[in-house]
A and B are shown apart, each in its own frame.
Chain A
């Protein structure tokens, strides 16, 4: 529209192309958000938060499901490396990503959301183990159109999600619903079906490829001289017994847990709930060196779990434990001091880590078992035997549910490529969006929303879930705390702050373009972009 009373067309300054003044030009780019970079399951966290910010929870959930088939589980049990990396942590507090993920996962269960699968490929894949890695692989393979059969040695699906993580962290109805959605996609699950001869089964069953993810279920033992009357359990069988036995294991009044990992903490908290008046963790190093996560340790201490740092158990005589004090040497390793003390306890639970049962793989030609008892795989997750892939706790990596789910996805994509005879190439990664790339001025101050917690008495006496979920209002608020690091979220700042009107707004969802005819290269758009999605590059001539 021609402005009021304007007659002068010729003579406009538009003839003056001030872009020729420039020696640097701004360019839009996408940077990798630190949360995405940190996620072991390879989720595009920022992308699903983006949908959640608009209240489009279904789209947000579908985006998670591209990478992770179990958001309701993940939002509860993942140790959220993403939140440790979140740039908002440097503004106020990290975005509560896990809490929003859990909200989305629970919404999906409430509303019965499902995903689409590709048309059938005609290929059959065998998955051994129905833990997080096996289930993740089965899900991704099914979405890619392959027929999947899971053989699980135990009586239930879930693996360590059921036999390792107690109910108060992961209610079983949540676990069952997430697994059921995968089975509903057409995945066949055979429980109580231990595989001894992979190659024979593949031949008989007509399988074109196999993914092995049997986990690490053999408890490590410690050589502690103990009398016959001593009651010693291991963490794996104790936690497993909680799921498979009609009666919970008998622990007595005073329980000592030996170890410093998350499993040790889980055992101590379970013991508390089973009525132990004393649950004591004995660990040979210090709190700082403990592999258990801080928030789990804090929750345990709130519930009354006690810890003796820098102690090793030397001997057990009935209910009398002799422990030796340790001291850290200059390298940070614990060394015996020769000082002893005694503890009275009814039961000892060993939580010293787990080994992989690789016996059934030793007969498969080409498969290499590394020195520490885990299985060697190449960068496509394939073992030394053609067509047999492996992942989860049984391969060298950090042992968490999230890593296992990531292995399942990666293996599934490589198995798909293997079956279709191409090589899967992950897309190249963008540079990470650092805090220094952001202009944090533009983000309104907003504290993290807090998940409700169960009251302490219930936490000490029942297996009810400790943490509650966010309601919709709080989940939306939390999602909107995302800074969108490194990726344009159409705040219009570049369009607004250009003194030369040299940014073209392309409309909702289409972002912006520079008009280099007039851009003088001042760089204000870069300086005032909240999320670091523009950078200056030198002009070539």
Chain B
């Protein structure tokens, strides 16, 4: 590890805080120093994605995007350009001539966000603008399927771009079709809950964070709207690194998943606490940190509140085999990323 990297890590590492009633689990905390609080707790956060956007009630993606872009803006003194793939995030924020973005923002095609971002970064380099950072962002469809070739190229060339994928596990904007990020057994418009094995099949799909790591890029991380402090720490760290960086953020979709609008964060938390969505970081292809599970739950707790998994829990016909296979996936994550290690939950005073 280079000297510069060590320094950046010290600056952005989650601070060890004393016991302050809620520790760092809440967005802010009146008992904590201002700079130990989250960006979202600040009265002058940038609200890069502002009010009036047309996302559904309780949209996880709208929330995740504001969390990430606000943190990125704080990290580099607001000097960013964002390139957006087609998808919900583009459609609900920017129905021309109106936009909810208060940053320089560009949209081209569904599949070319990574390539356009590469171009913006190249233009900046040519013009000698070292202070302006480039972020590319899109949903799981634009990232794992349609834009995958461009993204892989961007990684391979190590272009100076942070790519953020907001993963809601299907094409929500066009009517909830399956993507290669859709989990097994989930019902979508193209994987209906009919037949012997209803919903999406097992053994398909891609794990993009692991694919990104295989490109040996400087930084890969997963994050979730249910852990704001962790998300902000990762975005801040990514903004301090040069080269290709990738952050994959878990953002539940009330409409596509069939969950209550107020449950978005709770569902994301259950994904994290069941082990189905592990939070980790990797540098140059090596995992170097993960967030331990605080209160472990069985996958059933995560699946049951979602209508896209309702066919697993039909009265009298519970699909125990599929539930067990999903649990096995969670258990594999727990083992792989060491999520059940003891961690000191009680911050010392």
Contacts and interface: CB of A to CB of B under 8 A. Distances in A.
Interface in A27-61: 53-54
Interface in B37-91: 37-38, 40-41, 43, 46-47, 49-55, 57-60, 62-63, 66, 78-79, 81
Contact of A445 (B28, B98, B346): B346
Contacts of B50: 12-14, 501
B22 A530 contact: yes
Interface in A484-537: 484, 489-493, 495-502, 505, 507-508, 515, 517-518, 520-524, 526-528, 530
A386 B93 CA distance: 72
Given A13-B98, A497-B27, A522-B261, A492 B41 contact: yes
Contacts of B20: 444, 480
A4 B20 CA distance: 36
B25 A441 contact: yes
B43 A482 contact: no
Contacts, number: 176
A480 B266 contact: no
A319 to B, nearest CB: 55
A447 B346 CA distance: 9
B156 interface: no
Nearest to A23: B57
Contacts of A102: none
B210 to A, nearest CB: 29
B31 interface: yes
Counting chain B residues whose Cβ lies within 8 A of the other chain, the interface size class is 35 or more
B52 A442 contact: no
Interface residues of A, number: 59
A473 B22 contact: no
A10 B263 CA distance: 34
B46 A480 contact: no
Given A444-B23, A480-B19, A530-B22, A16 B102 contact: no
Interface in B239-290: 254, 260-266, 269
B262 A13 contact: no
Question: Which of A10, A15, A484, A500 has its CB near the most chain B CB atoms (within 10 A)?
Answer: A500
A22 to B, nearest CB: 8
B27 A21 contact: no
B329 interface: no
A526 B266 CA distance: 12
B40 A496 contact: yes
Contacts of B55: 499-500
Contact of B262 (A15, A476, A524): A524
Contacts of A528: 265-266
Contact of A490 (B30, B38, B93): B30
B98 A11 contact: yes
A21 B51 CA distance: 13
B15 interface: no
A523 B21 contact: no
A524 B25 CA distance: 16
A495 B40 contact: yes
B58 A522 contact: yes
A18 B52 contact: yes
B345 interface: yes
A508 B30 contact: yes
Given A501-B50, A505-B43, A12 B62 contact: no
A446 interface: yes
Nearest to A440: B295
A275 B79 CA distance: 80
Contacts of A501: 47, 49-51, 66
Nearest to B225: A497
Contacts of B46: 3
Nearest to B61: A499
A442 B26 contact: yes
B100 interface: yes
B99 interface: yes
Nearest to B261: A522
A445 B254 CA distance: 30
Given A444-B19, A491-B28, A502-B51, A527 B40 contact: no
B99 A11 contact: yes
Contact of B27 (A445, A473, A495): A495
A314 interface: no
A103 to B, nearest CB: 15
Given A490-B28, A492-B27, A15 B52 contact: yes
B349 interface: yes
A444 B28 contact: no
A114 B52 CA distance: 54
Interface in A422-478: 441-447, 473, 476-477
B181 to A, nearest CB: 21
Ranked nearest first, the 9 interchain pairs of A and B with the lowest CB-CB distance are A492-B28, A496-B27, A523-B262, A13-B52, A522-B58, A444-B23, A13-B100, A491-B26, A518-B51
Interface of A: 3-6, 8, 10-18, 21, 53-54, 441-447, 473, 476-477, 480-482, 484, 489-493, 495-502, 505, 507-508, 515, 517-518, 520-524, 526-528, 530
23 contacts: A10-B97, A14-B51, A15-B98, A18-B52, A21-B57, A444-B21, A444-B23, A477-B19, A480-B349, A491-B29, A492-B37, A492-B38, A493-B26, A496-B28, A496-B40, A499-B66, A499-B264, A507-B43, A508-B30, A521-B261, A522-B254, A523-B261, A527-B266
